[in-house]
Structure 1
Amino acid sequence: MSKSLLIISRQAPWSGPSAREALDIALAGGAFDLPVGMLFLDDGVFQLSGAQQPASLQQKDLSANLQALPMFGVEALYVSQRSLEERGLHQSSSSLAVELLNDTALTALIDRYDQVITL
């Protein structure tokens, strides 16, 4: 049986390669039918915003990769309620269907997965 994998994405899409690497790992895991979940935490919640303009920062758009997650079997998508609130964002502005979790639920989520990668 495959071990489950939770990827915690903590970086904004424009702050370096970490956001893209987290998505690449999730897509690769999904392609190999691993049970993969993805949690957007801290500045990683900015990845969910649909109104990004990465070209102005000479960055590649991650929205196509994000939209591909469910097609690769990565349907367990979560976002930290506190991270959204601290950055003045709302779940309704997300470009993906994500489950909103409070701090207690985050702890329980992390405990459910066999392996956790934080980027």
Structure 2
Amino acid sequence: MKILVVDDSGFARRALIKLINEQLEGWEVTDTGDGKQAVSLFRQHQPDLVFLDLTMPDVRGEEILEEIRSFDRTSKIIVVSADIQQKTRENVMALGADYMVNKPINAEKIAQALTTVMC
């Protein structure tokens, strides 16, 4: 099984990958801080699960989500964002996200997200 983690913050990516590894064993994790590279990596690795930050300097997470969903409807996508507005949540769910986790992340939030999307 494969996971792609997309977040412009190296610290946030490392923290998320650590939490993922505590929850899931044996998954191959690829990560990037470059929104433009995210879709390319998605096509290359064809992950089963994506953790996607919304706020990045080069390409907004919503654009990445839309592009991925234009050619793949089966991969699970969990949006990770500090934006707690209900409108944002509704928008990303309408674009095809499977779940949204608010930052700051922790083990409980990741466990809940994984339980929700993997069942």
TM-score, scaled to structure 2: 0.48
- Structure with greater helix share of residues: 2
Q: Which of structures 1 and 2 has the larger relative contact order (alpha carbons within 8 angstroms, sep 6+)? A: 1
